[in-house]
Structure 1
Amino acid sequence: MNKKIRIAIITHGGIGTGPNGEGVPLLMDILSLLAEQFDITVYSLEKFDVNFFPKKYTIKATPFKATTKLSIRFLWLSCTIIMHHIIHPYQLFHGYWGFPGGWIAMMVGKFFKKKTIVSFLGAEVIDLPQINYGLYTSKNSRKRIEWISKNADCIIAQS
């Protein structure tokens, strides 16, 4: 029997969040389809809804509140992913959104010399200064997104 390819999906939310854990429908549907063929673990910087129990994949979220500094949640989640990878290696790291999910996927994937995919889901390539929206609004975030774009093994642009 062939073992399924192990994939770590890293996100800052959108999976198992909101009322009844419905999350972002597109992401939830994609995840369910992927889980039919692959061994998926979803790591999130946001807590999952308490009633969210996926049947086809594993979930792991930061134990901290959303008001906890991003750097603390970022470090905790990164260390958790690294620890899990050392115990039971992943073949692929997939980040949802360029930052922070894509950034973590890239850093961990490159460190362990594994393939990386980053899904850009909108804000990554937008600069709307009138409403302070988009990761292209500051020079640092723009450079981070450009680095991710150049170094990921695969970029998925969804609209």
Structure 2
Amino acid sequence: MRLAMVVTGGLHPGGHEQVVPSLLALFSRLARRHEVHAFALRHLPRATTYNLRGFIVHDLGRPSAPLGLGRWAQALALRRALKAAGPFDLVHGFWGDPAGLLAARAGRRFGIPAVVTCDSGEFVSRPEIDYGSQRSARGRSAIAEACRLASYVHVCTTYMKDLAGQHGVPAAVIPIGTTTPGSIIEGEQTRNEPGVFAPRTKSEPGILRILQVASLSRVKNQRLAIDAVAILAKSLRVHLDLIGEDTLGGELQAHAVTLGLANRITFHGFVPHAELPSHFTRADVYLQTSLHEAAGVSVLEAASFGVPVVGTRVGYIADWAPGSAAAVDGRTPGAFAAAIESGARDAVGQQMRAASAHRWATTHDADWTAAQVEKMYGDLCGSRIRPPA
């Protein structure tokens, strides 16, 4: 098949920074059997085309126009690029707006099936943090049009499918798996295999290490993690590792200092994906504090390393609880501290949840995802499939 993927960005030619690892893994696997072209709407400052891990990237160079016509400029640039590189069997937009909407419109224009992946805030409204497409008329209209025009709406979790259903959108669930190279078995990194799991050995006996991998932002809500650590620190030796780009201008670091936690929390900033395994191997608990997650790829990565997962009942944690993750319903520091401490005291129960999550994550890995997506494409395209060039 000849496949057109539409993304906002996340496919930097370097292949390490400014990338979305899960999409990079999916596209590169599909490219082993199909001709894959990815169209980036607003990443690099100048339009350029390059090869990346077996597929072709057409960066549109941030097309823009005055008087609020930026979306029109993106649509025009995408149509021209699709026509120049085509014809294609199918177009797939990742995230409902703008990529999903423009992909769905292009599908109608070129008479080909269009898939829209909703894997962000498409079906939520959190006005208190300026988050979610449903908080504005324009956002609601964009998501409704994208889903109406799509041949197929795809989400990664049952949690997100239920949110879509509340807005009258039928969606199918295919998790986008990870490529994390191993689980940790008695301190040794081994290849992921479904069902291969053994209890983890603490890297630092006596210290409870808590990890979160996410951009520091309002929706990820790391302030809650910091406040929970402040409570835990009164009775436990605890350390919180926060990995992710800071979008809050040092606000959380200042909050940690105010609470006297400067020596209990490490703000690592951005860490390349290839360097994350060393952090997962040290962690005793992975903590999710997000106000919303459509899925939560870092939760998958933690699970594939056998790290027990605790967090808000959104995304994968909502799907997995109670058997494979500990979901916290009360979004207060006390509730999170209690959940973390309870898991630490019930080692057997926590390891059982971690083993179950590990089996799930390593079964639904990037190879599994590529096979499911390929089947979906084949069902949509049927006899119309064009051979790769």
* TM-score exceeds 0.5: yes
Alignment of 1:67-106 (within 5 A): 70-71=70-71, 72-85=73-86, 89-106=87-104
Q: Which one-letter code corresponds to 1:57 in the other structure?
A: F
| CA shift digits 1:21-80 (9 cap, x unpaired) | 451121111112211222100000123599x851310011123489x9733344223322
Query: Identical aligned pairs, as a percentage?
Result: 23
Alignment of 1:129-140 (within 5 A): 129-140=127-138
Q: Which runs of 5+ in 1 are unaligned?
A: none
Instruction: Say which SS state the counterpart of residue 54 (structure 2) adopts.
Output: coil
Residue number in structure 1 paired with 2:36: 40
Alignment of 1:14-53 (within 5 A): 14-16=10-12, 20-21=16-17, 23-48=19-44, 53=51
Instruction: Say which SS state the counterpart of residue 124 (structure 1) adopts.
Output: coil
Tell me how large the CA RMSD over aligned residues is.
2.8
Residue number in structure 1 paired with 2:122: 124
Distance across 2 between alignment mates of 1:65 and 1:81: 15
In the TM superposition, what is the alpha-carbon distance from 1:101 to its structure 2 partner? 0.9
| CA shift digits 1:68-124 (9 cap, x unpaired) | 973334422332223333xxx100000011111111111111112111111111121
Distance across 2 between alignment mates of 1:28 and 1:84: 20
Q: Is the 8 A contact 2:15 2:52 kept in 1?
A: no
Number of matched pairs: 151
Distance across 2 between alignment mates of 1:53 and 1:114: 24
Q: Is the 8 A contact 2:2 2:90 kept in 1?
A: yes
Q: TM-score, normalised by structure 1?
A: 0.81
Q: Which runs of 4+ in 1 moved over 6 A?
A: none
User: Which has the greater radius of gyration?
Assistant: 2
Deviates more, 1:14-23 or 1:29-38: 14-23
In the TM superposition, what is the alpha-carbon distance from 1:15 to its structure 2 partner? 2.3
Q: Which runs of 5+ in 2 are unaligned?
A: 157-294, 296-389
In the TM superposition, what is the alpha-carbon distance from 1:154 to its structure 2 partner? 1.2
